[in-house]
Every structure is written in C-alpha cells, then in structure tokens.
Amino acid sequence: SRSIDLAVVPGDGIGQEVVAQGLKVLRSVLPQDVKLETKEYDLGAKRWHRTGETLPDAELESLRTHDAILLGAIGDPSVPSGVLERGLLLKLRFAFDHYVNLRPSKLFPNTATPLAGRPDIDFVVVREGTEGPYTGNGGSLRTGTPAEVATEVSVNTAYGVERVVRDAYERADARPRKKLTLVHKNNVLVYAGHMWKNIFDKVGEEYPEVTTDYLHVDAATIFFVTQPERFDVIVTDNLFGDILTDLAAAVTGGIGLAASGNINPTGEFPSMFEPVHGSAPDIAGQGKADPTATILSVALLLRHLGYEAEAVRIEETVAADLAERDPSAPRTTDQIGDALAVRVAS
C-alpha cells in the first residue's frame, strides 16, 4: 500500500494558519489507501527566542528522512534580519540541494490583477536555488565606519548552472509551447552572464524542439507586465528569480496564490514545498491569510511524489473556487480551507 511520510514546518506568523489548511486539503484529496504520516517540527522565531537555535543538526538529519517537507513561512520582526532566513530556510535549501526552485504562474479567474481578462498567462520560473548571491560569500571591512566596504559575491559554477538549465529544458520540452527564456544581465554581469548564456546555448543543442529566447532581467520585468503571454518556461539565477517571481505573483492574482517547490530532482534529498509569500506578521493570528498559495504548493508536492491526478484535482478546485469568490464577502483562512477540502474530496 502507498504512503507519504511528510515533515511539516509551519514556521512563523501566518505560516501556522496556512499550513493547517494545506494539510486539511491534503488529507481530503488523498485516496483511502494512501497512508499519510506527518511530523511537525518546531522551528522558527519562537524556537530561536527560547533556545537560540535555528536548525540543529539532529533536526536536519531527521528532516532528511521524510518523503517531502511542507513549509509555511519563516521570519519575524523580533529576530534580526537574516538570522532565520539564512540559518533555517536557506540552510534547508542548501543542505537538501534544492537546485530547482519551481514557481509556476497562472492567471486564475476572478482575481485582483492589473492583467485581468488577458488570455493564456501560464508560465513557470525555474529559479536556481543553491548558488548566486545567496551563498553567503562576502564580507564587510571597517564595518559601520564611513570607510566601510561590503562585498556579496555571486557564486556560479558550471556544474550548478548546467544542471538547472537542463532541468528547465526538460520542463520546456514537456510543455505544448516548448519555449524557454533565459533571464540574466549579461550586458553588465559579463562573467556569470556569459557563462549562463554559453551553457544555455550548449545544452540547447540537445533540445532541438525547444524555442529559446534571452532577456536582460530589467527588460523581462517590462514584459511580465506588458506581454506575459510570451513566457512559457523561464530559467534564471537565484536572486533574479526571487525578484521576478514576486512580480509574477503580483501581476497574476496576488502573492496569496503563488506556490513554489524547492526541488532536488535527483531524489537524494526530500524536496520542500512552500508558498512564495512570507510570514506576514501584520495579519498573523487574525484568520485573514489566504491559504490558497499553500494549498497550491500541496498540489506541487503531490505531483512531485507521483500523485498527478490528485495534484490536478487541487488545481482545478482552486480555479473553480476562485471563479466563484465574491470579493465583497471575504472568507477567513479556515473557511477557504474548509471549502477547498470539501470540494477536492474523492
């Protein structure tokens, strides 16, 4: 019989609330014969305040043993900026080699977006997840003085770029439009930018059916707003991907709908699924958070684990629910979760 052994990291702020709804929908959509086991990990701001720990080795080792990880949100204003981001979230992405940070964008019906009514916005950003300026390679000299010098070096390896570019080609090749756009800034970042472009062109020789395109990141932001239909699959570095996917969320229905998967395609480590949004401390505990992004992240999780039919059912249910949403009658976090859980039930 089939089973899913899931690690759950609710984290901070609205993370707790949205993850509860994600689990509710997951339990409801799974067929009877699939045994779901969950283990919750107490990680985030509260833990740090209590013990000073962000992600102890023992917990990292324990997390490694699960089939997948569902994460809510990490970060709180009471913790110095960077402590939890680096010590927990990025540590997980790096330790479990989540080199594909998958962030799909679809224009759902009836959502608040400047692009409402535009047809066929359906693209996916493949954001590199383990390199770039996120590696912590830098430093500061004469810190806090008028003569301070700070560096933050972007690390790009041929190995790391090739594997994520290849993954993006595979995804493009499997989609009807078969189009892949590389986004970088090789008119200024000539070392990393040229390496990305050279590897992109070289790997592309193996995918003759995939149409390719290149855009500088600044130009890409314009097209995200003026011509988003032109995108199918986008591959880009860690920081450009971070910025572009917030923009993508904002223009395709809001950050409350944006799902993501931190994927280790080799299967050596568990992949981790999380909404793109943060912990939103300003609305935490009030039942105002939209759990849809987490629920769509559960769909990505199911797809990754081979439950394609269940993933599709969640996505179709979300689309149907959004089509009926009445913006003048907002529902609570729980109400949205309950409605979706009832509707996906098999």
Gyration radius of the chain's alpha carbons? 20
CA distance 20 to 337: 8
Q: Which of 5, 67, 173, 246 is catalytic?
A: 246
3-state percent breakdown (helix, strand, coil) of the chain, nearest 5: 45, 20, 35
CA distance 10 to 171: 29
**DSSP assignment, residue 127?**
E
Cα atoms in the 13 Å half-sphere on the side-chain side of 215: 19
Give catalytic status of residue 41 as yes or no: no
Q: Which of 12, 232, 237, 242 is catalytic?
A: 242
List CB contacts of 37: < 8 A, sequence separation 6 or more.
3, 4, 5, 6
Q: Which does 85 bind (CB under 5 to 8 A by kind): ligand IPM, Mn ion, none?
A: ligand IPM
CA distance 206 to 202: 8
Residue 115 has which token pair? 């692009």
- Candidates 12, 76, 237, 242: give the one binding Mn ion (CB under 5 A): 242
Q: In the complex with ligand IPM, which residue's Cβ is closer, 72 or 291?
A: 72
Q: Is 160 flagged in the annotation as binding?
A: no
Give catalytic status of residue 185 as yes or no: yes
Q: Is 253 flagged in the annotation as binding?
A: no
Instruction: Give min distance, CB of 133 to ligand IPM, in A.
Output: 10
Instruction: Give min distance, CB of 18 to ligand IPM, in A.
Output: 14
128 interacts with Mn ion by CB under 5 A: no
Instruction: Give min distance, CB of 99 to ligand IPM, in A.
Output: 13
Q: In the complex with ligand IPM, which residue's Cβ is closer, 165 or 244?
A: 244
Give catalytic status of residue 334 as yes or no: no
Q: Return residues touching ligand IPM (CB under 6 A).
A: 75, 85, 89-90, 242, 276
Report the residue number whose CB is nearest to Mn ion: 242
Give catalytic status of residue 167 as yes or no: no
Q: Which of 134, 167, 237, 307 is catalytic?
A: 134
> Longest C-alpha distance within the chain, in Å?
65
- Sites of contact with Mn ion (CB under 5 A): 242
The catalytic residues are: 134, 185, 218, 242, 246
Task: List residues forming the annotated binding site for substrate.
Answer: 93, 103, 127, 218
